[in-house]
């Protein structure tokens, strides 16, 4: 367990002791602690087929556990975890699991099309030493499009850091690698870059390629780290990369905003309890009535927003996205032209990569903007309602805190950070309930669209195969691209994207609305609980308020020391 992991667990345990003394609900803190204890940080190793990914990982493990003779059609993403028992889990589309012995890789290869990815559980000291990091051996970029899209989209969300391999024999960065690196950086993830198979080239050639790759990475991504050289026994280099990953920073990135949001919620609960004890029964009942009215306003607002969503959000953004994809294809027309005239498979792959990369960028941008607007609309709606709730610590600042917390969650969800640890299976959380429906919203939209493009590719290719028999002139191919291929892709996108995109916008509205409703329900319950304690239980109100205030100060001091110190 790393230092920050220990520190956050200690913080939660200390906070729980403080809060239990004053009977404040700590269930959500317990949920967060459970995730912190079980968190895994996935590190995918990506590159073209035969770039040496499996060989590199085997060298690191000091054992030939991963098959290096897979075909692109049978390669599956493979997660490697430490376990005292050796076995394999094969995960199906419906998330059901088939279990295999470690030596049954041939049986898995025969059934590869049935599975999404594999989990290897290995009694291997190297895997234990790098915990909570989990290595992932990824399919090559040149595996079948459907398989590759499924894998890379899944791990763009789930991966926390990427190790990228290019064979020295490539001579530099391919367009495929550059596009995948753009996708990785669009999701806010870091990466290390390796040149593999350096044992196959003379040192002068290696230096030339290394310099070329370094220049390309600096130009494209402002990448200033060293390019790591990997030979046929590169395990020690991989170990250095893994040990250089700052898990302390990654942990903070994942959990600190959630813990801060939870602290704000707990402090607000204490303040509301104090306010209820200070106010009369009549004032408290009036506050409960106002909260119920707020709740109705939120529901009404939700229904209006859903009715307006298509015109306000979906139609305009869908058209922008489709035109952006079309323009990107036109920008790359010369490259596509050369691919079409030389190799139809390369052309198909390049079409897929261009559409995928542009969709990732555009959908991330549009969803981010839309989600922020939705949160702001709900916040404005609440602020516009006349009420007497400020005496119960339910005011504009409280509304702003909720809105900011939701925005942070949505941002984390778009970058895939929310999915780490599979905590979304637990519905008991407060603010993080939002993630259960919008997590990885980009890939929710992207996956079915890319499936349409893949299905449509044979039709696109037929345009060229027909013309190539007659005339292989560039102007003929360019004419086909302008008049038939790009319009056909736009048509397919226009048929599929609006429904999927609007569905995701509606999910956002429902989720954000539910979060505001949940926060209001929590406030009502806090007031009702304090009223009951004040009326039925024989307590010294002033003594109770003093204890609450003391606990609030202790929690504030603990939180400042753990979550805010050094910022």
Least confident of 255-264, 293-302, 477-486: 477-486
SS3 content of the chain, % helix, strand, coil (to 5): 70, 10, 20
- Phi and psi torsions of 371, nearest 5°: -60, -40
Burial 341-372 (b: 16+ CB within 10 A, else e): beebebbbbbbbbbbbbbbbbbbbbbbbebbe
pLDDT tens sequence across 481-507: 888 888 888 888 888 889 888 888 888
Predicted pLDDT of residue 301: 94
Predicted pLDDT of residue 437: 38
Whole-number Cα distances in Å, 115 to 92, 103, 200:
4, 18, 35
In this structure, the strands spanning 87-92 and 97-100 are antiparallel
Does residue 149 surpass a pLDDT of 80? Answer: no
pLDDT tens sequence across 346-358: 888 888 889 888 9
Task: Compare 224 and 232 and report the one with higher pLDDT.
Answer: 224
d(CA 323, CA 369): 18
Does residue 414 surpass a pLDDT of 70? Answer: no
Contact between residue 350 and residue 332 where contact means Cβ atoms under 8 Å apart: yes
Does residue 473 surpass a pLDDT of 70? Answer: no
Predicted pLDDT of residue 423: 33
Does residue 142 surpass a pLDDT of 90? Answer: no
The first and second tokens of residue 414, run together, are 């778009």
The first and second tokens of residue 26, run together, are 């700590």
Does residue 534 surpass a pLDDT of 90? Answer: no
Predicted pLDDT of residue 259: 94
Q: Report CA torsion sign: 140, 143, 147, 148.
A: positive
Predicted pLDDT of residue 116: 87
Predicted pLDDT of residue 351: 87
Q: Report CA torsion sign: 323, 327, 328, 332.
A: positive
pLDDT tens sequence across 363-394: 888 988 999 999 999 999 998 887 778 888 88
The first and second tokens of residue 51, run together, are 């770039």
Please name each of the domains of the chain with its CATH number. 1-38+249-278+540-567 (no CATH), 42-245 (3.40.50.300), 297-536 (no CATH)
Q: How many other CB atoms are there within 10 angstroms of residue 80's CB atom?
A: 25
Q: Tell me the whole-structure pTM to 2 decimals.
A: 0.85
The answer for residues whose C-beta is within 8 angstroms of residue 351's C-beta and 6 or more apart is 329, 336, 453, 457, 460, 489
Which residues partner with 512 through β-bridges? Answer: none
Place of tokens 């048509």: 491
In this structure, the strands spanning 133-137 and 77-82 are antiparallel
DSSP structural state of residue 234: -
- What pLDDT band is residue 182 in, cutting at 50, 70 and 90? very high
Highest-pLDDT range among 67-81, 421-435, 484-498: 484-498
Chain center to CA of 439? 7
């Amino acid at each position: 367990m790393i230092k920050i992991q220990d520190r956050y667990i200690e913080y939660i345990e200390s906070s729980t002791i403080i809060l239990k003394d004053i009977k404040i609900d700590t269930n959500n803190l317990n949920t967060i602690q459970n995730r912190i204890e079980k968190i895994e940080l996935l590190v995918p190793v990506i590159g073209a087929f035969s770039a040496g990914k499996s060989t590199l990982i085997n060298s690191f493990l000091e054992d030939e556990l991963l098959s290096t003779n897979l075909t692109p059609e049978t390669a599956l993403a493979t997660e490697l975890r430490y376990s005292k028992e050796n076995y394999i889990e094969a995960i199906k589309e419906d998330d059901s699991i088939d279990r295999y012995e470690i030596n049954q890789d041939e049986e898995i290869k025969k059934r590869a099309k049935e599975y999404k990815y594999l989990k290897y559980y290995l009694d291997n000291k190297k895997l234990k030493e790098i915990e909570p990091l989990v290595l992932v051996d990824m399919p090559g970029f040149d595996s079948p499009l459907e398989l590759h899209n499924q894998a890379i989209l899944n791990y763009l969300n789930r991966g926390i850091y990427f190790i990228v391999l290019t064979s020295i024999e490539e001579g530099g960065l391919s367009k495929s690698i550059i596009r995948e690196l753009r996708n990785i950086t669009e999701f806010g993830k870091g990466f290390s870059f390796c040149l593999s198979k350096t044992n196959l080239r003379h040192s002068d050639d290696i230096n030339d390629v290394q310099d070329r790759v370094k220049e390309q990475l600096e130009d494209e991504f402002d990448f200033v780290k060293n390019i790591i050289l990997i030979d046929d026994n590169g395990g020690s280099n991989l170990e250095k990369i893994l040990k250089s990953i700052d898990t302390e920073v990654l942990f903070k990135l994942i959990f600190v905003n959630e813990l801060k949001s939870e602290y704000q919620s707990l402090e607000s609960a204490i303040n509301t309890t104090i306010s209820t004890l200070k106010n009369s029964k009549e004032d408290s009942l009036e506050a409960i009535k106002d909260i119920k009215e707020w709740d109705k306003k939120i529901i009404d607002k939700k229904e209006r927003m859903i009715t307006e969503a298509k015109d306000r959000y979906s139609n305009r953004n869908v058209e922008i996205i489709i035109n952006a994809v079309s323009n990107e294809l036109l920008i790359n027309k010369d490259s596509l032209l050369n691919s079409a005239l030389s190799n139809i498979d390369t052309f198909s792959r390049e079409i897929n990569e261009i559409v995928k990369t542009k969709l990732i960028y555009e959908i991330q941008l549009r969803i981010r903007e839309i989600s922020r607007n939705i949160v702001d609309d709900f916040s404005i709606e609440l602020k516009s309602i006349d009420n007497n709730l400020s005496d119960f610590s339910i005011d504009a600042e409280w509304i702003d805190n909720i809105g900011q917390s939701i925005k942070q969650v949505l941002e984390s969800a778009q970058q895939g950070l929310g999915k780490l640890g599979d905590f979304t299976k637990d519905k008991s959380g407060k603010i993080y309930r939002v993630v259960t429906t919008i997590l990885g919203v980009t890939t929710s939209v992207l996956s079915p669209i890319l499936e349409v493009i893949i299905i449509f590719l044979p039709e696109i290719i037929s345009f060229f195969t027909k013309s190539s028999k007659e005339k292989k002139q560039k102007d003929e191919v360019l004419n086909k691209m302008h008049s038939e291929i790009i319009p056909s892709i736009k048509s397919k996108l226009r048929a599929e994207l609006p429904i999927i995109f609007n569905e995701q916008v509606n999910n956002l509205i429902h989720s954000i609305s539910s979060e505001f409703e949940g926060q209001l329900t929590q406030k009502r319950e806090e007031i009702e609980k304090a009223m009951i304690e004040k009326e039925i239980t024989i307590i010294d109100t002033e003594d109770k308020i003093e204890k609450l205030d003391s606990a609030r100060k202790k929690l504030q001091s603990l939180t400042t020391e753990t979550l805010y110190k050094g910022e």
